A and B are shown apart, each in its own frame.
Chain A
């Protein structure tokens, strides 16, 4: 099955036809996509800045609540993103901004895994390690770059 077959199948799917036939569907998806990204960014910012060494230590339960909020927001974000792709796959395929955005999300995911396995206990400590600080700063920069790349997709679409 070639890329063209997949694109054709996606564009012909009921989901794609629905999104493309309803004038309000695409704007609503855009609102859900960006609003959930804001929630993700805000909740992670509180955790990341603490990890980067700013502010006093957290109780572990605070970190849990904020990370769960970010994961929920990411779910909405990923779902709306998948619906964008289904409705207009040609816009995203071979689009360097979209490819870079996906790579950055992957890196942010790896960084989040590092947080989960290595750095989470440090939230409650007065001092954090240099690696944890780098991880906190990297998370903010990665998600900021994800937003930049997301905005660039339209301008790089063929």
Chain B
């Protein structure tokens, strides 16, 4: 807890917390990153569960690159938010659950994207790409990302532990 309070006392954390657009801008960019990774993951997962007729892995590749960029933006801004208010967030059960779900969703999505990319070569492209990803994992990916979005919204409503 002392380490988190020390982080909150840094000039950077102070800027995030006090600058007129510091916290709002960081949290807004956090949401843009989240929308990109969650949105594209959902489409790719649905495609893995029930392939969209005519859609191949290579056609999803550009969106998956955008999703990866979104995940990086989400992680960087998430760290910035944590640095500014870590001692508050670390006691929030919704935040802790969100963290676990985002990690799980990221792993599942990156594996799903990898599966699509592997089948995106012209030779293997006609098999639908994401269809090679196990359906139960695709369903889990949708549920995990829904949970991450839900817990993210609930951070403001859930009381801290202790």
A residues neighboring B (CB under 8 Å): 23, 27, 30-31, 34-35, 37-43, 45-46, 49-50, 54-56, 58-59, 61-62, 65-66, 69, 140, 143-144, 147-152, 155
Contact = CB atoms under 8 A, between A and B. Distances in A.
Interface of B: 23-25, 27-29, 31-32, 34-36, 38-43, 52-56, 58-63, 66-67, 145-146, 149-150, 152-154, 157
Given A27-B157, A38-B149, A49-B66, A43 B39 contact: yes
Contacts of B23: 155
Contacts of A69: 43
B28 A46 contact: no
Contact of B53 (A34, A37, A61): A61
Contacts of A54: 62
Nearest to A42: B39
Contacts of B157: 23, 27
Question: 3 smallest A-B Cβ distances: which pairs?
Answer: A42-B39, A59-B54, A54-B62
Contacts of B31: 34, 147-148, 150-151
Given A41-B39, A45-B40, A147-B28, A50 B62 contact: yes
Contact of A66 (B28, B43, B145): B43
Which one of A27, A42, A144 has the greatest number of beta carbons of chain B within 10 Å?
A42
Contact of B52 (A27, A31, A62, A150): A62
19 contacts: A30-B153, A31-B154, A34-B35, A35-B146, A38-B149, A39-B39, A39-B42, A45-B66, A46-B60, A49-B63, A55-B58, A55-B61, A56-B58, A59-B55, A61-B53, A143-B35, A144-B35, A148-B28, A149-B28
A49 B55 contact: no
A150 to B, nearest CB: 8
Contacts of A147: 28, 31-32, 35
Contact of B24 (A41, A43, A151): A151
A71 B62 CA distance: 21
A152 B24 contact: yes
Nearest to B150: A31
B59 A56 contact: yes
Given A41-B35, A66-B52, 15 more contacts: A34-B35, A39-B42, A41-B36, A42-B41, A45-B40, A45-B67, A46-B60, A54-B62, A55-B58, A55-B61, A58-B54, A58-B55, A59-B55, A147-B32, A151-B31
Given A46-B43, A50-B59, A55-B61, A148 B29 contact: yes
A76 to B, nearest CB: 13
Contacts of B66: 45, 49, 140
Contact of B28 (A38, A41, A151): A151
Contacts of B56: 56
